[in-house]
Structure formats: C-alpha cells, structure tokens
Structure 1
Amino acid sequence: MTTLEFSYSLDKASGSLKPFALRLTKDVDDAKDLLQDTILKAFSNKEKFAEGTNLKAWLYTIMRNTFITNYQRAARRGTFVDTTENHFYLNSGKETIENGAFGSFALRDIRIAIDRLDDSHKVPFEMFFRGFKYHEIAEELQIPIGTVKNRIHIARKQLKESLEVYMHKN
C-alpha cells in the first residue's frame, strides 16, 4: 500500500473513530487529541500494518491502547510513593473541604425540575436513570422504542434548560 493510499484509508476510517474517542474520553477536546494521536501513531507505524488486515480494527486497537497509556500516565503523575517504613501509595492532589450546602441545593433543585416534567417524559426518564434499558421501558410502558428515546431526550433537554444555573460552577 502506498503512502497516498494509506493516508486516504486513514482519512476515510477516522470518521468512525471520532465517536469511539468521545466514548472513551467523555470530553470533546480530549477526544480530538486522542484521535490525532491515533492517526499520528498509525501513520508513523504504517510499515507495521499488514495489508489485508482490517484497518479500522487496527486503528481502534491503537486508539484504545493510546487511551489506556495516557490514562495510566495521568494516574501515575497524580501518585507519589511515601518513603516511610510503611510504603503507602497515596494519591496527591489539592486538599479541599467542600461545603455540602451547594450539593443539597443542587439535589433539591434537580428533584424539583424532574417533578415539573410532564409524566409522559418523567416516567421514561426516571426508569432510564434507574438503569432500565430502552427496550425494557418500551415494553413496560407499551410504547415504541423510538418514542421512549425521544421522550428521554426531551426530558434531558428540559432539565438542562431548567438547571442551567449549575452549568458553570467553578
């Protein structure tokens, strides 16, 4: 495979990698960085790619391994070794004590916002929140699965709007 063909194949496959990166990182910027690292590693190791092998699977493996490596590196950076006799491993970080009042207000406001939802949206949302799968909710409420997904989406959107005050907590 020529460099141009390999580059074209990478570009084509990168579209399916974006959602996987977002699922791993849970952050759009981190997902973009992970995707960029994956493409860079794939391109710099293209001679290791065996033609006839599934390129997407190869890229997913690179991405997963890169994510794990980065995660472990970040965890090690936040850990130090205590050199006393007991040799404890401790996570370093800021020592803070938070006032629980903010959490109490937030929980109360979340409950109020959920209670304000229309029952047709509240019931599927609460079931999903408790761990029910979409198909289980659809069976229980005897409505189509698409309707369940739509109602949960609308409930989330309404909650996000009514709880906007908590979006920018520092």
Structure 2
Amino acid sequence: MSELQPSVELARDDIVKLIPALRAFARTFCRDPVDADDLVQETLVKALANLDKFEPGTRLKSWLFTIMRNTFYTRVKISSREVPGLENCASDSLRLDATQEWSARAREVEVAFSKLGDQYREILTLVVVLGESYETAAEICDCAIGTVKSRLNRARRQLLLELGEEI
C-alpha cells in the first residue's frame, strides 16, 4: 500500500493544478458561474473518490474532462425529468447590460455561442478556448479525430453566420 501512496499524492496535486482548466470547461456546459463551479466540485469529488481507477501513463486532464462531461450529461438527463420552475422568470431579466460597443459585441458572440449545439460548443471550447489538440478533444468527446475537425468547422461556420460575418 505504501508504494501506491506517492502516486496518489502526485495525482491529487496534479488535479489541483487542473482546476482552472476544469472551470473553463465547465463554463461550456453551464452559463451560470455558480452551476459551473458546482459541476467542477462534483467532478473533483468523483475523481478523488475514484482515483484508484485512474491509469498512470494516461492523461489526467482527459480523464477529468471525461468525468465532467459524463456528470453534466447525467445531470441533464435527470433535470429533464424535473421541472423546478418557469424558464422565463421575470427576475432573470432585471439586469442592465453595459452600453459599450465591446460589451454589445461580446453579448452577440455569447448569444451566437449559446445557439450552437452542445457538441459544437464543447468542441469549440476544447480546441479554441482551452487549446486542446484534436487528438485530446477526440478522446474527451469519445469520437474520431475527423469528427472533431468537422464539428469544429461547422461550429465556426455557424458562429460566423449567426454573427453576420462573411464566410
């Protein structure tokens, strides 16, 4: 048991270092920062509880991202059966956005991004925002590299169309 202890400690330290990347990836699934933080926390709890199942020599980041992705989709499946309240609650529309041009454009991009399908948002975030390789993204999304490339291409085109940019 003592020979397993140092690798577990190293893995825990590496997990802590990956928390910022997990938070960024969680934001692709959850628009609300609090929900994203909850997803990160749930992912970390599951990862630490199952650390003995992590295979040394494989990418810890990919393993954690896969746990997060599966956790999110499980949540979606469960929440589709439970309807806690109205979708368009009046209290959600009581905020005022900044009037600066950059803020307006950022909002346009955010709206266009939110209109993308889950698979496209996920790929864009992994490859463009987080800088993951096609191979890593394919591993995380459990699909072929060609699928990653085509989803990324479609996502970029759809974003440009939504933003009224020329293709």
TM-score when normalising by structure 1? 0.49
* Higher RCO (CA < 8 A, seq sep 6+): 2
TM-score when normalising by structure 2? 0.50
User: Which has the greater radius of gyration?
Assistant: 1
